[in-house]
């Protein structure tokens, strides 16, 4: 039997950390060595993530352990940078950061470690050979999935107008006025209109793939009255016909197991609890509408991180990620 990948997790008490634990507990090639959490040190995992009762006897630790192969940083934005500044991680340990701290090229190097943008659908080979991965953002991923084939084929010629609605888990576990039940139930709200923090990585990714600066992305995110999932709708001018566009998308995502191009209308429950992204397109005159849907905690965070780990350690890309959607 092959040796398992020894794993450390920093910040395992939040939503993304919990989802990562659920994936890795059942991953056939993974062994969780420790989960670092100052606020929960000494507590059993299942006391925080209560669905893990009987699945593991692990407890949260206040200590780091250098006897691991890969370290996941499941901490808030700014905290991955702080961790790297305050700790000297041995060179043999690969790092996967789930915060936005190292996503942009101008911020990708720290302590002689250069982070690669962890988007397998465009950077698969670079991820395979890298020791440091910066996982994409959830909104960034869902918008990019819908626009990458157009960028690659230099079809982003006019401004793009995108809207996206996300579940409450996208805001993290810290309680806030807009996350409690009585506010969320039967309610929606736009926020961070035209200035969401993921726009930087979206523009950089699309421009890099296109080979030139792309037109502006005008993005309006919405808070939804559900727990998980992201549904994006982007519209732009495009002269290609719908059959031509579907051919472009089929070709671009050929060989990428988690991207599903649908000729039928898509909906959120198709992707919730999976590492899939569903894409559908419509057209009226010279306006094309692109719908893309992902689970914000899986393909938008922890599932993508495990997919990157699989690539870094030469495993089957889908290992531990063949998940079932709720659907109903």
96-142 pLDDT tens trace: 999 999 999 999 999 999 999 999 999 999 999 999 999 999 999 99
Whether 157 and 263 share a structural domain: yes
What does each C-alpha distance from 71 to 66, 92, 198, 245 come to in angstroms? 9, 11, 24, 40
**Tokens at 221, concatenated:** 């995110």
Residue 102 sits in which domain range?
Answer: 5-136+299-312
Residue 208 pLDDT > 90: yes
For position 230, what pLDDT does the model report? Answer: 98
Whether 214 and 259 share a structural domain: yes
Whether 153 and 93 share a structural domain: no
Whether 143 and 233 share a structural domain: yes
Which CATH number characterizes residue 12's domain?
A: 3.40.50.720
Whether 120 and 187 share a structural domain: no
For position 1, what pLDDT does the model report? Answer: 42
pLDDT digit string (tens) for 14-42? 889 999 999 999 999 999 999 999 889 99
Average pLDDT for the chain: 95
The answer to whether position 319 is within a domain reads no
Which CATH number characterizes residue 153's domain?
A: 3.30.360.10
Contact indicator for 291, 277 with CB cutoff of 8 Å: no
pLDDT digit string (tens) for 142-174? 999 999 999 999 999 999 999 999 998 876 666
Q: How many domains does the chain have?
A: 2
The answer to whether position 156 is within a domain reads yes
For position 292, what pLDDT does the model report? Answer: 98
3-state helix, strand, coil in the chain (%, to 5): 30, 25, 45
The answer to whether position 323 is within a domain reads no
**Tokens at 54, concatenated:** 């009987």
The answer to whether position 327 is within a domain reads no
Q: What is the mean pLDDT of residues 277-301?
A: 97
Whether 245 and 264 share a structural domain: yes
Whether 228 and 142 share a structural domain: yes
> In terms of Cα–Cα distance, which of 157, 155, 152 is closest to 122?
152
For position 184, what pLDDT does the model report? Answer: 83
The answer to whether position 81 is within a domain reads yes
> In terms of Cα–Cα distance, which of 180, 178, 216, 221 is closest to 197?
221
Q: What is the mean pLDDT of residues 239-249?
A: 97
Whether 77 and 108 share a structural domain: yes
Where in the sequence numbering do the catalytic residues fall?
138
The answer to whether position 325 is within a domain reads no
Whether 126 and 149 share a structural domain: no
Whether 101 and 158 share a structural domain: no
**Judging by beta carbons within 10 Å of its beta carbon (0-12, 13-18, 19+), is residue 268 exposed, middle or buried?**
buried
Beta-strand ranges (E) seen in 154-268 are 160-166, 189-190, 217-223, 230-237, 259-261
pLDDT digit string (tens) for 223-233? 999 999 999 99
The answer to whether position 320 is within a domain reads no
Whether 157 and 220 share a structural domain: yes
Q: Are strands 70-73 and 5-10 parallel, antiparallel or unpaired?
A: parallel
pTM of the model: 0.95
């Amino acid at each position: 039997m092959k040796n398992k990948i020894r794993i450390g997790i920093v910040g395992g008490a939040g939503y993304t950390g919990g989802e990562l634990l659920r994936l890795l507990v059942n991953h056939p090639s993974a062994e969780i060595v420790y989960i670092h959490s100052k606020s929960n040190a000494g507590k059993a995992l299942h006391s925080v993530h209560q669905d893990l009762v009987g699945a593991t006897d692990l407890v949260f630790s206040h200590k780091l352990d250098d006897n691991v192969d890969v370290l996941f940083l499941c901490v808030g934005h700014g905290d991955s940078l702080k961790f790297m500044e305050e700790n000297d991680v041995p060179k043999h340990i690969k790092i996967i950061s789930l915060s936005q701290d190292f996503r942009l090229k101008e911020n990708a190097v720290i302590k002689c470690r250069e982070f690669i943008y962890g988007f397998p659908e465009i950077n698969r080979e670079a991820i395979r050979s890298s020791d440091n991965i910066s996982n994409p953002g959830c909104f960034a991923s869902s918008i990019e999935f819908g626009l990458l084939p157009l960028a690659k084929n230099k079809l982003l010629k006019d401004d793009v107008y995108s809207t996206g609605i996300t579940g409450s888990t996208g805001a993290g576990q810290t309680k806030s006025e807009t996350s409690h039940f009585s506010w969320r139930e039967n309610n929606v709200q736009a926020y961070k209109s035209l200035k969401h923090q993921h726009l930087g990585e979206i523009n950089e990714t699309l421009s890099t793939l296109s080979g030139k600066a792309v037109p502006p992305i005008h993005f309006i995110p919405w808070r939804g009255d559900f727990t998980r999932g992201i549904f994006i709708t982007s519209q732009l001018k495009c002269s290609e016909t719908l059959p031509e566009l579907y051919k472009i998308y089929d070709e671009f995502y050929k060989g990428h197991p988690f991207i599903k191009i649908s000729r039928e209308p898509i909906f959120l429950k198709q992707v919730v609890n999976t590492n899939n992204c569903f894409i559908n397109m419509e057209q009226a005159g010279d306006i094309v509408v692109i719908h893309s849907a992902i689970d914000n905690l899986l393909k938008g965070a922890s599932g993508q991180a495990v997919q990157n780990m699989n690539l870094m350690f030469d495993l089957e890309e889908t290992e531990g990620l063949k998940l079932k959607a709720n659907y109903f």
